[in-house]
């Protein structure tokens, strides 16, 4: 999947991104994309956010967070391309980097299918590297993920104090749907609505899915708020990240959901 020399590719938002024919330095402003590049072509990665925890031991310059990147430090790294995401990164930061003459490739990922397509394009067209075998492996893993005999309807909190849940049109919601779990708030006008705990407990869900990120829900922090409802504690990286974790996500999440989905 090579891009002809001198062609200007379009990112997921339709913006032209003038990356050079050979890319040598990449800065990533999204943990999932950082892991994607680090696993596929580790020598390219020059910088990443403080929240980029995978792969473990990643040794690159840190540029603060996804929502408050140090733009001067990013520019000082002289990247050929900066990788971002429409949900994770602020438009003002993207605009400032582009105004400084830096190529910024934005992804927009809201389903597993979009993740597989977007990452393939990002690697081939923005990073100018061969598409890795793990992406094909991930596609095979999601072609027929394990599905329980009975679907469940869940609320999926991602934050506490205040309570926030997964709403409409999200990658997380699509992941769960493919594994037999329907998001109760999938039709909510907001993508991550703030819902009071009284409403959450009275909403009629028969399952609560609690990931360990971005808020770190644990057996002692979260389940006690939903008495009488089945609660599944799941790995947040496999639920919310798009990247090499896609390969193992169906197996890992299905195992973590299995105990409650069989009831």
| Fold matches, 26-131 and 143-261 | yes
Q: How far apart are CA 177 and CA 141, in angstroms?
A: 15
Q: Which CATH architecture has domain 26-131?
A: 3-Layer(aba) Sandwich (3.40)
Tell me, what's the pLDDT at 88?
94
One pLDDT digit (tens) per residue for the chain, 263 residues: 544 555 799 999 999 999 999 999 999 999 999 999 999 998 999 999 999 999 999 999 999 999 999 999 999 999 999 999 999 999 999 999 999 999 999 999 999 999 999 999 999 999 999 999 999 999 999 999 988 888 999 999 999 999 999 999 999 999 999 999 999 999 999 999 999 999 999 999 999 999 999 999 999 999 999 999 999 999 999 999 999 999 999 999 999 999 787 76
pLDDT value for 211? 98
Q: Where are the domains of the chain?
A: 26-131, 143-261
What is the topology classification, in CATH, of domain 143-261? Rossmann fold (3.40.50)
CA angle (101, 104, 106) in 5-degree steps = 155
Query: pTM, whole model, 2 decimals?
Result: 0.91
pLDDT the model gives residue 150: 86
Q: What is the pLDDT of residue 263?
A: 64
pLDDT at 174: 97
């Amino acid at each position: 999947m090579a891009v002809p020399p001198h062609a200007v590719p379009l990112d997921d938002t339709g913006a032209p991104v003038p990356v050079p024919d050979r890319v040598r330095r990449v800065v990533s402003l999204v943990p999932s994309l950082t892991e994607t590049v680090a696993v596929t072509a580790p020598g390219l990665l020059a910088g990443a956010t403080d929240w980029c925890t995978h792969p473990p031991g990643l040794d690159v310059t840190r540029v603060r967070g996804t929502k408050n990147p140090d733009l001067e430090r990013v520019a000082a790294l002289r990247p050929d391309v900066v990788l971002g995401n429409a949900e994770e990164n602020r438009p003002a930061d993207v605009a400032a980097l582009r105004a400084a003459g830096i190529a910024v490739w934005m992804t927009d990922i809201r389903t597993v299918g979009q993740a597989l397509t977007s990452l393939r394009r990002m690697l081939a067209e923005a990073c100018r590297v061969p598409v890795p075998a793990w992406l094909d492996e991930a596609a095979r893993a999601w072609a027929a993920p394990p599905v329980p005999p009975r679907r469940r309807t869940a609320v999926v909190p991602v934050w506490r104090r205040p309570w926030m849940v997964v709403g409409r049109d999200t990658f997380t919601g699509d992941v769960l749907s493919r594994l037999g779990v329907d998001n109760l708030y999938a039709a909510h006008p907001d993508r991550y609505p703030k819902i009071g705990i009284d409403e959450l407990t009275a909403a009629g869900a028969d399952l609560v899915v609690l990931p360990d990120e971005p808020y770190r829900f644990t057996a002692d922090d979260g389940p006690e708020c939903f008495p009488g409802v089945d609660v599944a504690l799941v790995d947040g990286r496999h639920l919310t990240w798009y990247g090499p974790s896609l390969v193992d996500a169906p197996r890992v999440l299905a195992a973590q959901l299995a105990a409650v989905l069989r009831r």
